[in-house]
Amino acid sequence: MRTGKKTKVKEGMVEHLTVGNHIANFLIHACLIMVAVVSLLPMWHVLMSSFSDGFSLLSFKGVAVLPVGKPTLEGYRLIFRDSSLWIGYGNTIFYVIGTISLGFVLNVLGGYALSQDTKGRGLMYAFLFITMLFSGGVIPTYMVMNSLGLVGNRFVIILLGATQTFYLVFAAKSFSAVPVSTVEAARIDGAGHIRVMFQIVLPQARGMFFITVLNTFVASWNGWYEASVYMASDKTKWPIQLFINEMTNANVNFLETATPNYSRYLIQFAVIVVATLPIMLAMPFFQDKIEAGQLQGGVKG
C-alpha cells in the first residue's frame, strides 16, 4: 500500500501518523502550553505573593515563582480577622443562590415560550433584540426600582442579575433544536406543556443551561456595582467584592504611617485569592456537567 499521499494509514484499529502529523501535533501542543502558561502565570504570581514576606515582596521585582522571603500567612490573618469579610461571604452566597435559582426558572420558562410556534413569537424576539441594542440606563432603572420599593432590598441584586436577553435567546434555540417528533410523541401520550418542558426538552438542553448557570454564577460572584448603587449605605447587605474594594483602598497609604506594618502589603494579593478561589473550585464541576449534557443531547434514543 502506498502511503506517500496519505496523512494516516489504518491497519485495523491502529492509525499511524506521518511526520507531518507529528509536527502539527507538536505545534498545537506547544501553542496550548504557551496559552496555559500565559494564563496561569499571573494567578500563580498572586498566589505566591500572598504567602510572601511583606517587606521582601515590596522591593521584589519580577514574577514570584515561590514565596518571596519567609513564607507567612499574615495577609490572610489580616483579612480574615475582619468580621466584615464573613458578612460579605454570606451575602454573596445568598445573592449567587438566589440569582441562579431565579435565572434558571426565567430562562426555562422564557426559552420554552419563545421556542413555540406562536403568533407573537416574532414580536417577542423583536422586543428582546431591541433591549440588546438599547439600555434604559442607570438612572431610569434606579427610578423603576425605587418606585417598586426595592432600593435597599436584597431582592434588587437578584432581580437585576437573574437573566439576560442572550440567555433567553440561547435557551429558545436549544429548545427548538429538540426533534419535533420527540415532542409530538410526548403530546400524543397526553403530556402537557409543563411535562414537555421539564421532562422532554430540558434534559436534552441540559448542557446549554449549565453554561448559563456558570455565566450567572461568575457574574453574580464578581458583582459589586448594583450593591454600590442600591445599598451603598447598608454594609450589612454588601457582597464580598465591595468589602474587598474597601479593604484595598484603606490599605493604600500604609507606608505613610510612623511604623508601617509591611504585612498589610499582602492584603491586595490575599483578597484576590479569597475572591477567585470559589470560582476556580467550581469550574471543574461545571465542566463535567456541560460535557455530560452535551453527550446526552447527542445520543439518540
| DSSP helix/strand/coil, 11 | strand
d(CA 29, CA 270): 33
Question: Which alpha helices (H) appear in 116-222, and where do they start and end?
Answer: 121-133, 138-147, 155-161, 165-176, 180-188, 193-195, 202-204, 206-222
- Rounded to an integer, what distance in angstroms lies between the CA atom of residue 263 and that of residue 52? 9
Domain layout of the chain by residue ranges: 8-74, 82-250
Q: How far apart are CA 129 and CA 127, in angstroms?
A: 6
Q: What angle do CA 91, 92, 97 make, to 5 degrees?
A: 100
What torsion, rounded to 10 degrees, do the Cα atoms 104, 106, 111, 114 define? Answer: 180
Q: How many Å apart are CA 122 and CA 104, to the nearest integer? A: 23
C-alpha cell at 196: 414537555
Q: Give, for all 301 residues of the chain, the pLDDT tens digit.
A: 444 444 444 444 556 778 888 888 889 999 999 998 888 888 898 889 889 888 888 888 888 888 888 888 888 888 888 778 888 889 999 999 999 999 999 999 888 888 888 788 888 888 888 888 887 788 888 999 999 999 989 999 999 999 888 888 888 888 888 888 888 888 888 878 888 888 888 888 877 778 888 888 888 998 889 999 998 888 899 998 888 888 887 777 777 776 777 788 888 888 888 888 888 877 777 666 655 554 444 444 4
Distance CA 252, CA 254 (A): 6
Helix (H, G, I), strand (E, B) or coil at 17: strand
CATH topology of domain 82-250: MetI-like fold (1.10.3720)
